[in-house]
A and B are shown apart, each in its own frame.
Chain A
Amino acid sequence: MNPLDPLLTTPLRLGAMSLLIKLKAASFVYLKEELNATQGNLSVQLYKLRDAGYINIEKRFERNHPLTEIKITPKGIRAFEEHVKNLKDYLHLT
């Protein structure tokens, strides 16, 4: 049995990845609202995912408003799928 990815065992990071896997892109505000997270905590967790290459964070201005857009990367998709597979292995669901 493979060990679980420690980056994905935190509920907030796991939740963010679970949302992003279903979306083409999400704003920081959307993730904050859906995950009931504080701005500071979510920022810290997202930067950890970005540093691991699991997500891309792009900051830009759209119609004079700052927008932080987050997308999952191919590496992030693979890591998430592997994590789900490992979880199922642990529970003998596969």
Chain B
Amino acid sequence: MKTNVSDPQEQLEIISQTIAKAKENLSEHSFAFIFWGWLVSLTALFTYVLLVYSSLGNLSYLAWPITTLMGFAAMVMYYRKKEKKKKHQTHVEYFLSKLWIVIGCVLLFFSLTFPFVKFNPWFFFPIIVGIGTAVTGAVLKFKPLVFGGFVLLSFPLYGVLVSKQALLVLYAGVIIVSYIIPGYLLKNHQS
């Protein structure tokens, strides 16, 4: 490598070539959406099966805090392992990690308390998760995630149109549209 470059054109080329190397790798952000997409949609369908075909009644909803806890444990393990190999952090990664830690803590707290505290989880959870998803999509400039975020955010509006049990099937479908499909699109995205 040369010790000095006096040509401004050459210097600008070095800058643009080097900056391109530090470009955000979108596919790295796909894991969480695919993982939570499958976990949440399968939990919703599992809860529906328990409600309809077992005598557990409202106890069926306990599947939610159990799988949420398992999901959080798996995510902590995954990101700790990833952190060990990581050699740099972009501003976007930093912002998104803080955003989802806050959202994750709120969700975990309410997942654990919702069997005991009276509030409507079908109103609260999709909005919180929808905000995080839409903001993530906007920051990554990835439209399928922004769309997915708004599908989740508006869930309380169209969710009132179906019965309590059918809500679970509807939610599983919404998660496929807002998490699983954008997650796989993100995974295969060429930056």
Contacts and interface: CB of A to CB of B under 8 A. Distances in A.
B30 to A, nearest CB: 21
Contacts of A4: 8, 11
B17 to A, nearest CB: 8
Interface string B1-33: 111111011011011001101110000000000
Nearest to B22: A22
Main secondary structure of the interface of A (DSSP, over half): helix
Contacts of A43: none
Given A23-B89, A24-B89, A37-B1, A91 B22 contact: no
B91 interface: yes
A52 interface: no
B90 interface: yes
Interface string A56-94: 000000010000000000000000000010111011000
Interface string A16-37: 0011011111110110011111
Interface of A: 4, 8-12, 14-15, 18-19, 21-27, 29-30, 33-37, 63, 84, 86-88, 90-91
